[in-house]
Chain A
Amino acid sequence: MAFIDRDISDRRGKSLTARLHLDMPLLAGLIVLVGFGLLILYSASGESSDQLNRQIIRLTVAFMAMIFLAWIPPRIYKKWTPFIYAGGILLLLAVVVVGEEGKGAQRWLNFGVFRFQPSEIMKLAVPMMVAWYFSERKLPPTLRELAVVAIIIAVPTYLILIEPDLGTSILIASSGAFAVFLAGIRWRILLSFITVTIIYAPIHWLFVMQAYQKQRVLTFLDPEQDRLGSGYHIIQSQIAIGSGGLHGKGWLQGTQSQLEFLPERNTDFIFAVLGEEFGFFGVLLLISIYLWIVGRGFMISIKAQETYTRLLAGAITLTFFVYVFVNIGMVTGILPVVGLPLPLVSYGGTSMVTLMASFGILMGIQTHKKLLPG
């Protein structure tokens, strides 16, 4: 009768991972991914051990963030969720007022010793808030509840959109939306929402979108049309991937990458380096690793004991997937160019710490469990 999770019995053993509240299958996936990522980065950075060292330092910090969050029982941050969310909104407003600019966008808050992007907090705060909101209510949600959740999602999304940071606002909106989907929004409502979106799209195109945004979409639809301008990224990355073939040109042997033709080859377009040097098999391996991580995330979600943790785990997992899909989709040319890094592989990016923190939460959900009656 009593359902005792195997992970809980593990905790009685004295294994280090259990004591640290780490989830072995997820950790293994992450370590393989990071290792493969460093291999690619070394090549993409032009064999720069300097960049490699910095990346390793960043990863170390990110893993520490993960271990820290895994150690906190989910009920703690569940209690604090509304405050985290409200604090995040305040920080976003602060960015609008006193934020620092970098690369033409105002995203940073400077605290003297360090500066960070409050939008990173929202990547976690939004799905947490939606999950918190649904956790005390009967599912599936009603229209009124959906309206409240829509506001919860829309406010931070808008604040980040005007920074402007399209990539992150998409991520945050979808992380909230995933929680709604997992909460069991009725298909009727979902379909009618999608229909409205499709009808609205041309209006948005005509009256809302900026010229440069339209250009991005047009370039995506036909990169050859702007071969020397914004189509350049897309064409060159496709040439790199395509020329890699089945087996790839070999590590450090990618002529396209090494001859510096590929822009942003160590950051957003690092997937093209993988495609060129490791070929289709390399791509298959990377996507398998990602799928493993996503699969494990869903397992944790299913096994979670309450609505809050279930929704949160599912939303985190889906958001991670969106990262992967949007980046690879953009580099392979099936999605427009949106500035998102390839998670845990691309060089730098403040998102790395947030990502690992979210995996820490996943692990915490898996490892802090009460004995429940079936």
Chain B
Amino acid sequence: MIKNNQIKSGHAFKDHRQERQILVTRTVFAFIFVALLMISLLVRSWYLQVVKHEDYQTRSNNNRISVQQVAPNRGLIYDRNGVLLAENRSVYSLEIIPEQVANIDETLNIIKQLELIEDKHIGSFKRRLTGVRRFKSVLVKSRLTEQEVAIFSANGHRLKGARVEARLVRFYPYGEKIAHALGSVRRINDRDLQRIDQANYRATRHMGKVGLEKYYEDVLHGTIGSRTVETDVQGRVIGEPLTETPPVPGHDLKLSLDIKLQLAAADAIGDYRGSVIVIDPRNGDVLALVSNPGYDPNDFVTGISTEKYAKLTGSADQPLFNRALRGLYSPGSTIKPMLAWVGLENKFISERFTINDPGFWVIPNKEERIYRDHISWGHGQAVNVSKAIIESCNPFFYDLAYRMGIDVISENMFNFGFGQSTGIDMGEELTGIMPSREWKQNNRRSDWYPGETVLTGIGQGYWNATPLQLANAVAPIATGGVRHKLRLVIAENDHQQWQTKPPELADRQVDFGDGSSLDIVKRAMEQVNKEPFGTARKAFNDAWYSSAGKTGTVQLKTQTLDDDGKKVQPTRKKFNDNAVYVAYAPADNPEIAIAVVTENAGHGGEAAAPVARQVMDAYFKRESN
């Protein structure tokens, strides 16, 4: 109470002079306090900057912090059974950071004296050096051997600024035999830099530039990481990273390929130029994709030598050319089953319909041109549709095609996928030509002539197709059902689990109706491989499984395009025919559909069918084991 009163009375007599005195005292006190603390900061600075200066000077010189970009590991590629088809292996390369080298020529000289490099390496290093930032590592030589790494390490002290860098580099264990199925990664060049996300590729040296590796580049590459590291004066990393954002590896891919079948197919085609395609007709999975000859994709990864590259590009066999994807071949007689089915289904012919084959055929009432059969004496009297397929009778199909007309043919053949993309996930696929009135108007500026329809009936003339298209055209016949887009990748691993990709339907489909027409065609195709006059019977002697097929022998030269889209005329064995063969097996419940093209190899039944036989043997041998 008393205190309270005092306060109240205090209010009444507020003493300004006394209050000012208190404030001034306190302020002076505060200023002294402030000054002391400021002095303590100065003392601290003196301690750091003068007393401990040398200590910190040393640490400053030794401790350099730098940010390093860390390339993501490229996604791995497996076959359908989990066998590695594309992996990443450590490769040692010799590099120089220009900024850290006092005299580059001298350093290069020492390295040369150690016999680690030759003059050509110095030349290409100097070319790389121009326009590169001084603190960035520049490649001197890639793919050092273990021994070379050891020599370098022993002399490292004389080579300040040079270092051996271990990098993960793409490796394809099956090399040449799978080159055209996988494509390859190659070194990133200036032109590539313009199209890619440079920030994400700052630490990456290679990218997919061909085939599957290119098509799935976004998925396989991953996301760049970085880490802050402490480095010494030489730029060597000390201790653990200070901060780290780990890179996100690319996704792994699982392919539809079966490496055993792929190798069997590569062996089967042997020295022939050509292509073997094996697909699963039930879902469009590509089980084997061979284009022969191939090349070793590993050569391209770390840089191919000029001589080697010249040899590849100069070869008449065109090993770099992907025949499976871009080779355009006249399908020849292999399309006869499809045409026969169209004829039956649309009532142009019936099962009982026959023609006489004297060995040639002429357009009714216009005898100015003779279309010959491949056997000069013909296939005799009463050739029905089955016999026409089994013995590959040309006049029967001249007649059928002539009567159906080009519009019916092309419209139906589109449904089998001719002239259309197979949808395969590789990119750069050619779609070939399924001739039609419209196509001829657009591309040849000319009307369609009936004589051209006749040639179309035996798969020649303008008609051409890739081996992939041929295999995919047989698939619906095999299953009697839907046609799928072809695909190589069946699952993708996003680091959590495998995400299976469902098969996709092709854009155009064949309607097989009640299946009765198809049955006639399928029985005939089985006889091709079985019946004494069947064109592929020799190849399928003693097969322990059932199969169905159709041969083709194409008199025309290959009409192939090189990478620039220019026509390439085959120079060798140009008088020999291209042998073509399509098949599926087992006949009743097909699991595989095959297309084989062997260039200038002769008769389809003698050259191409045995290749298919060997592949099927491999497939069913494995199945029965």
Q: Which residues of B contact A295 (CB under 8 A)?
A: 31
Which candidate, B60-68, B400-408, B464-472, is the interface stretch facing chain A?
Answer: B60-68
B623 touches A (CB below 8 Å): no
Which candidate, B43-51, B449-457, B513-521, is the interface stretch facing chain A?
Answer: B43-51
Report how far A246 CA is from B57 CA in the complex, Å.
Answer: 12
B41 touches A (CB below 8 Å): yes
Q: A137-B11, A239-B63, A283-B49 are in contact. Are A301 and B27 (CB under 8 A)?
A: yes
Q: A178-B30, A238-B48, A243-B53 are in contact. Are A332 and B60 (CB under 8 A)?
A: no
Find B44's partner among A246, A259, A302, A332 (CB 8 Å cutoff): A332
Q: Which residues of A contact B243 (CB under 8 A)?
A: 228
Q: A275-B49, A291-B35 are in contact. Are A243 and B56 (CB under 8 A)?
A: yes
* Contact, CB under 8 Å: B41 / A318: no
Binary interface profile of B, 12-26, with partner A (CB < 8 Å = 1, else 0)?
011100111011101
* Contact, CB under 8 Å: A246 / B49: yes
Report how far A232 CA is from B34 CA in the complex, Å.
Answer: 29
Q: Which residues of B contact A318 (CB under 8 A)?
A: 30, 34
Interface size on A, residues (CB 8 A): 53
* Contact, CB under 8 Å: A181 / B26: yes
Whole-angstrom distance from the CB of A155 to the nearest CB of chain B?
24
Find B41's partner among A178, A232, A329 (CB 8 Å cutoff): A329
* Contact, CB under 8 Å: A238 / B56: yes
Q: With A183-B22, A283-B49 given, name 4 new contacts (CB 8 A).
A: A140-B22, A259-B66, A302-B23, A314-B26
* Contact, CB under 8 Å: B48 / A242: yes
A-B contact list, 25 entries, CB within 8 Å: A138-B15, A182-B27, A182-B30, A183-B22, A183-B26, A236-B63, A243-B61, A246-B49, A246-B53, A259-B64, A259-B66, A261-B63, A275-B45, A283-B42, A284-B42, A290-B38, A294-B34, A298-B30, A301-B23, A302-B23, A314-B23, A318-B30, A325-B37, A329-B41, A332-B44
**Chain A contacts to B: CB under 8 angstroms:** 136-140, 142, 178, 181-184, 228, 232, 236, 238-246, 255-256, 259-261, 275, 279-280, 283-284, 287, 290-291, 294-295, 298, 301-302, 307, 310-311, 314, 318, 321, 325, 328-329, 332-334
Q: Which residues of A contact B35 (CB under 8 A)?
A: 291
* Contact, CB under 8 Å: B49 / A182: no
Q: Which residues of B contact A139 (CB under 8 A)?
A: 18-19, 22-23
Residue of B nearest to A303 (CB): B24
* Contact, CB under 8 Å: B49 / A245: yes
* Contact, CB under 8 Å: A242 / B30: no
Whole-angstrom distance from the CB of B269 to the nearest CB of chain A?
58
**Chain B contacts to A: CB under 8 angstroms:** 3, 7, 10-11, 13-15, 18-20, 22-24, 26-28, 30-31, 34-35, 37-38, 40-42, 44-46, 48-50, 52-53, 55-57, 59-61, 63-67, 239-243
Q: Which residues of A contact B7 (CB under 8 A)?
A: 138, 142
Q: Which residues of A contact B24 (CB under 8 A)?
A: 302
Q: Which residues of B contact A283 (CB under 8 A)?
A: 41-42, 45, 49
Report how far A83 CA is from B449 CA in the complex, Å.
Answer: 98
Q: Which residues of B contact A325 (CB under 8 A)?
A: 37-38, 41
Find B48's partner among A241, A290, A310 (CB 8 Å cutoff): A241
Find B27's partner among A228, A245, A302, A321 (CB 8 Å cutoff): A302
The 6 closest A-B pairs by CB, nearest first: A242-B56, A261-B65, A243-B60, A138-B10, A184-B22, A242-B48
